Chains A and B, each alone.
Chain A
Amino acid sequence: MTDETKSTDWSRIARDGLWDNNVVMAQTLALCPLLAVTGTATNGLGLGLATAFVLVLSGLSVSVLRGIITPQVRIPVFVLIIAVLVTLVDLGMNAWMHDLHKVLGLFIPLIVTNCAILGRAESFASRNAPLPAMFDGLMMGIGFTLVLVTLGAIREIIGSGTLFANASMLLGDSLRWLEVTLIPNYRGFLLMILPPGGFIALGCLLAGKRLLERRLAARREAKAAAAVPARA
């Protein structure tokens, strides 16, 4: 797939990142950080944004350097690039965005363990020009963020009856209205906040996506079948 000569299909990249080839929903990658942090929607959002940022940067650097990296040593070089980026983001946030770092600091080292980043470097950035590689990183990152927030929201609502608790710590006081208590005086359903709840919610989410896709495919087929006799 050396499509440097071919014009870039931007909408294809966007569709892949957001739905068709979504990091979690289609590739089922990055489950370790996913299940670890999605106890609340806010945490999911935080990890998603940080991951998207690193994905864009790693896409850019791998793509720029793709000419000099040989296939034999590419994996260690990619790992090195990603590790450096994550460490620099961690240091920078700790120094200049300290309040945000107090909330997200825990998750940033988790980004290194996110195989989706290495996966995108290997399968997309190393074969494409810098701009599409960055765009792919951004779309994959947004797709990942959406899943994290959805899963976090499901677990948070069922587990503790709130939504976006502590969001103002992450996003600033102007977004305090996001924090809602949906079920007042809720005693909590601990299972959903613990890792097993993450697996259960993720399983339901994956099944839901399959079901939706099957429905859509069936509808398309029905339409095609209806169209064939009309043409004949």
Chain B
Amino acid sequence: MTTVANPTYRQRIGYQAGLLGGFAMVAAAMLVMGDIATREAIDERQAEDLLASLGQVIPAGVHDNNLLADTLTLDTPDGTVTVYRALEGLDVTAVAFETVGQGYGGAIRVLLGVDKDGRILGARVLSHTETPGLGDHIEAARDDWILSFDGKSLGDPPPARWAVKKDGGVFDQFSGATITPRAVVKSVKEGLELFAAHRDALTASAVQQTATAQ
């Protein structure tokens, strides 16, 4: 920045401060405009993504509603859980919600679909930071492992066998990675326990729900 003409007013602290402040204001204004211009489109895209994931854990045949429209929130010790309900008419046929496990590299978010009897319809990992090549076999795109939860419930296998094979359970671990599948199994089991604890509230028909809400 060896500008040839460097007028004296530019050396003043006021000019410098004004310049920096001015740039900060312009930057803030641009970010606000950018946010306003894109917010709606981003929300739409994210809703589409969520719907696509929900479609993987709740088969289209068991509901006739928009999964994103009929939601409930559950207050648990770990925070609020949003529950997406699959309705046939006004009866709840299945629910889907997110459960989180602590893996080797951080949180593993699992979306779990459970039918009204507590049987797993499907589970999918939404996001994780596990070691590539070792822990990422929990992704449906890479391995069929996550499908081994389909049809399982709290009683089947019995609670003691809800673990990876190394711990005496029924679920496979991966060579070189035990912590990751262990975390997923644990989070799915916790999800089922959450469902069992709130089963009546979650599967109450939609009419009753609106009635109690009023």
Q: Which residues of A contact B (CB under 8 A)?
A: 1-2, 39, 66-74, 76-77, 80-81, 83-84, 87-88, 91-92, 94-96, 98, 102, 126-127, 159-160, 188, 190, 193-194
Instruction: Identify which of A83, A87, A95, A160 gathers the most chain B CB atoms within 10 Å of its CB.
Output: A95
Enumerate the 8 nearest inter-chain pairs by beta-carbon distance, A residue then B residue, closest first. A95-B41, A95-B38, A71-B1, A98-B45, A91-B38, A84-B27, A88-B34, A95-B42
CB proximity of B1 to chain A, nearest CB, Å: 4
Could you tell me which B residues sit within 8 Å of A by CB distance?
1-4, 10-11, 15-16, 19-20, 23-24, 27, 30-31, 34-35, 37-38, 41-42, 45, 49, 131-134
Q: Which residue of A lies closest to B38 (CB)?
A: A95
Interchain CA distance A114-B13 in the complex, whole Å? 30
A residues in contact with B4, CB < 8 Å: 2
Closest to B18 in A: A73
Q: Is the CB of A74 within 8 A of B1?
A: yes
A73-B20 in contact given A84-B27, A94-B45 (Cβ < 8 Å): yes
Chain A residues, Cβ within 8 Å of B132: 39, 193-194
Chain A residues whose CB sits within 8 angstroms of the CB of B30 once the complex forms = 84, 88
| Assembly CA distance A88 to B32 (angstroms) | 10
Q: A73 CA to B19 CA in the complex, in Å? A: 8
Best-surrounded residue of B10, B24, B34 (most CB of chain A within 10 A):
B34
B140 to chain A, nearest CB (A): 15
Bound CA–CA A102/B35 (angstroms): 18
Interface of chain A, main secondary structure = helix
Contact A70 to B1, CB < 8 A, known contacts A80-B24, A88-B30: yes
Pick from A77, A98, A188: contact of B133, CB under 8 Å: A188
Residue of chain B at shortest CB distance from A97: B45
Contacts of B41 in A (CB 8 A): 95-96
CB distance B45 to A70 under 8 Å?
no
Within the complex, what minimum Cβ distance (angstroms) separates B86 from chain A?
25
Give the docked Cα–Cα distance between A73 and B49 (Å): 43
A92 to B24, CA, bound (A): 21
- In the assembled complex, the Cα of A142 lies from the Cα of B23 at a distance in Å of 29
- Taking A73-B16, A190-B134 as contacts, is the C-beta distance between A94 and B42 under 8 angstroms? yes
Contact yes or no, B1 A91, CB < 8 A: no
A98 neighbours in B (Cβ, 8 Å):
45
Please judge, given known A-B contacts A84-B31, A91-B42, whether A69 and B133 are in contact too, CB under 8 Å: no
A69–B19 touching, CB < 8 Å: yes
By a CB distance below 8 angstroms, the chain B residues around A91 are 34-35, 37-38, 42
Are A80 and B27 in touch, CB under 8 angstroms?
yes
Contacts of A87 in B (CB 8 A): 31, 34
Question: With the chains together, A164 CA to B35 CA distance in Å?
Answer: 33
B29 to chain A, nearest CB (A): 10
Q: Is the CB of A81 within 8 A of B45?
A: no
- Docked CA distance A91–B3 (Å): 35
The distance in angstroms between the C-alpha atoms of A74 and B31, with both chains bound, is 20
A83 and B41 alpha carbons, distance in the complex (Å) = 22
Minimum C-beta distance from B174 to chain A (A)? 12
Q: With A80-B27, A194-B131 as known contacts, state yes or no: A69 contacts B1, CB within 8 Å.
A: yes
With A69-B1, A73-B19, A91-B38 as contacts: A81 and B27 at CB distance below 8 Å: yes
**A77 and B23: CB pair below 8 A?**
yes
Task: Give min CB distance, B127 to chain A, whole Å.
Answer: 10
Q: Chain A residues near B31 (CB, 8 Å)?
A: 84, 87-88
Complexed CA–CA distance, A76 and B23 (Å): 10
Known: A39-B132, A160-B133. A80 touches B23 (CB 8 A): yes
Give every chain A residue within 8 A of B134 (Cβ-Cβ).
190
B42–A76 CB distance below 8 A: no
Measured between beta carbons, the chain B residues less than 8 angstroms from A81 are 23, 27
